[in-house]
Structure 1
Amino acid sequence: MKNKIDLIDKIDKKIAKLEDEIRQTPYHKGTEHHLGRLKAKIARLKEQEEKIKKAGGGFGFIPKKEGDATVVLIGPPSVGKSTLLNKLTQAHARVESWPFTTVKVIPGMMDYQGAKIQIFDLPGIITGAASGVGRGREILSATRSADLLIVMVDIQTRNKIEPIFAELKQVGVDLPTLTVVNKIDLLEENSFSSEKVFISAEKEIGLANLKKKIWEKLKLIRIYLKRKGDKPDFSSPLILKEGQEVKEVVRKIFPHDYEIKKILLWGHSALFPGQQVSLNHRLKDEDILSFDLIKTSLK
């Protein structure tokens, strides 16, 4: 099992490196072939990874990423992770009052600010997880696919926060994290640390703030499109990562048989309304783009 996890980890790192190269490569006719080769390599690596996952053993931990971002819930058994997943995503995960109810990855999809945020509830981990206790190494390795890791405890297991981070460090997991303390409705004290997010999943206390914190930690931005002569379409934003450029929008929505004549911009990153910008312009949340296109002949 360890060899299987290590192999998948190596493939994930190769995919991440290729995806980074795609992001750094300017998009124009001279780079189309190169970008196509990079995407083909990623497709082959993902196919290889899928075969490894299906080759027996384990609980099917390393789930397929979908949506605009992926969040993983990890923590001790019976702290309310499944309840939280149900409240955030309507996933209908099984919830019981005894530990180890979750024995496999439970997926859900949270709609927030126009983004589809995939959330996975992992089985609870116990002391020694990084050494394989309770199949903990396999569980911890599943976090590598996430964009954000929520380390979740309750008011009775707050002393487990640092040990969980130590277990993650031991297996080389280094991701953006958010620490959540559940069941505050059972807590008598009223002062809470600003470094953690305090909630009651069952009573739905603090969930709006948690969603906001997830959005902020993921560093997602919304980009709206505007047809020439029309008003912007605010109903279906494109979701990008903070710091990404106009070329990322182009890669998402335009086929190769279109040539971009002009790009106009409105919003926080524009010097003035309707500013003409290049593909390398860095975007900000709620920017509005309009593209003037020329259809080229198909080869």
Structure 2
Amino acid sequence: KKTGDSNVALIGFPSVGKSTLLNKITNAKSKVAAYEFTTLDAIPGLMEHKHARIMIIDLPGIIKDASKGKGFGRRILAVAKTSNLILIMLDIWNMPYLQYKIILDELYNIGIRLDRFPPLISISYLKSGGLSLASTVPLTGLTLEMARGICKEFKIVNALIVAHQDITPDDLIDRLNGNCVYISSLVVCNKMDIATPAQEKFLDELEREGRNIIRISAETGMNLDLLQDEIFRKLDLIRIYLKPKGSKADLIEPLVVPRDSDVRYVAGKIHRDFVEGFRYAFVQHATKQETDVLPTVEHRKWKVGLGYTLQDFDVVQINIK
């Protein structure tokens, strides 16, 4: 069950230090021991950071072929599919590059696509006319014959496929399957406080691939503040301050919502009556530095409707009938 403003799935091999990390950055009390498979169930913990309530879920350690059901892997990965962010945890003392590649494969096989957007493909199913492939951009990785072969596997004979970006055969397969999820990810490598220079070189290949790795020590607390900041940034949350009509704005406890949320979303978070009885809203923009206790609010008010997209630190007053 989802609670908090966002959910983060903590994934890694057994005994990489996930339970220790969970205990350090949340209010959870996950069992900690120096042997594998300590965590037999998903353990949630609430991390409060920058006014956001973020649920971190420590999943049981996954192993190779988890996506095929080994070690209750399919059940574990099914929880990950419902998260807003996947936090991959590696152990510098246990072949981190190999761990990372295995975890990526298992996530991919279960239908989790990391740090990608859904492919922009529209499909119109027809009664006759065969299969056609059109695109609004040049296609370099998919031909009509490839598309026909893929669609034949799905028993699709008559359809118009329109690609709105350069797509691959895998993109088309994902679109036809319809069961893939697209989730952001973070990678952390644990036990870096006792890593040797030679061991740190194991991370170089990952970073050459463009993957930023946060080096931490769950045991000593090394870089855990940085990790919490990165989790908040990756979740792409914004803070909205509410101003009741006739009262001052509450600049202490903001409402935390996903970026690009509109007034309708915020009104619904308060109560559905604020959507059903909505007349208009006043919005004041504000700024806040890390050293500021309270945000600085502009005097100018903007009268907006339900579809207005809000920004971080906006002050909102909703007027209802």
Determine whether 1:226 maps to 2:165.
no
Residues in 2 aligned to 1:254 and 1:93: alpha-carbon distance in whole angstroms = 34
Residues in 2 aligned to 1:207 and 1:251: alpha-carbon distance in whole angstroms = 34
Equivalent residue letter for 2:242: L
Residues in 1 aligned to 2:212 and 2:272: alpha-carbon distance in whole angstroms = 44
Secondary structure at the aligned position of 1:153 is classed as strand
The within-5 A match list for 1:143-182 is 143-157=80-94, 158-159=96-97, 160-174=99-113, 175-182=183-190
Determine whether 1:75 maps to 2:12.
yes
Residue of structure 1 in register with 2:311 after alignment: 284
| 1:229 Cα offset (Å) | 4.7
Equivalent residue letter for 1:172: G
Residue of structure 1 in register with 2:277 after alignment: 259
| 1:176 Cα offset (Å) | 1.2
Secondary structure at the aligned position of 1:234 is classed as coil
Provide the identity percentage: 39
Q: TM-score under structure 2 normalisation?
A: 0.67
Secondary structure at the aligned position of 1:292 is classed as strand
The within-5 A match list for 1:1-299 is 64-157=1-94, 158-159=96-97, 160-174=99-113, 175-189=183-197, 193=207, 195-256=212-273, 259-267=277-285, 273-294=300-321
Q: Which shifted more, 285-294 or 97-106?
A: 285-294
Secondary structure at the aligned position of 2:36 is classed as coil
Residues in 1 aligned to 2:245 and 2:3: alpha-carbon distance in whole angstroms = 32
| 1:188 Cα offset (Å) | 3.1
- 8 Å Cα contact 2:242/2:250 also seen in 1: yes
Equivalent residue letter for 1:89: T
Residues in 1 aligned to 2:222 and 2:68: alpha-carbon distance in whole angstroms = 35
Residues in 2 aligned to 1:219 and 1:287: alpha-carbon distance in whole angstroms = 15
| 1:268 Cα offset (Å) | 5.6
TM-superposition CA deviations, 1:166-217 (whole Å, max 9, x none): 1110111222111111111012338975711111111001111111111111
Equivalent residue letter for 2:317: S
Residue of structure 1 in register with 2:141 after alignment: none
| Matched pairs, number | 231
Equivalent residue letter for 1:145: T
Higher helix share: 1
| 1:255 Cα offset (Å) | 4.3
Q: 1:133 to 1:266 in 2, by over 3 A?
A: same
TM-superposition CA deviations, 1:52-107 (whole Å, max 9, x none): xxxxxxxxxxxx11111111111101100000000111211110011111111111
| 1:272 Cα offset (Å) | 7.6
Unaligned runs of 5+ in 2: 114-182, 288-296
Residue of structure 1 in register with 2:140 after alignment: none
| 1:149 Cα offset (Å) | 0.6
Residues in 1 aligned to 2:250 and 2:29: alpha-carbon distance in whole angstroms = 32
| 1:293 Cα offset (Å) | 3.1
Residues in 1 aligned to 2:70 and 2:280: alpha-carbon distance in whole angstroms = 58
Higher strand share: 2
- 8 Å Cα contact 2:9/2:83 also seen in 1: yes
Residues in 1 aligned to 2:244 and 2:81: alpha-carbon distance in whole angstroms = 39
TM-superposition CA deviations, 1:122-155 (whole Å, max 9, x none): 1111122122222222212221111111111111
Equivalent residue letter for 2:184: P
Equivalent residue letter for 1:260: F
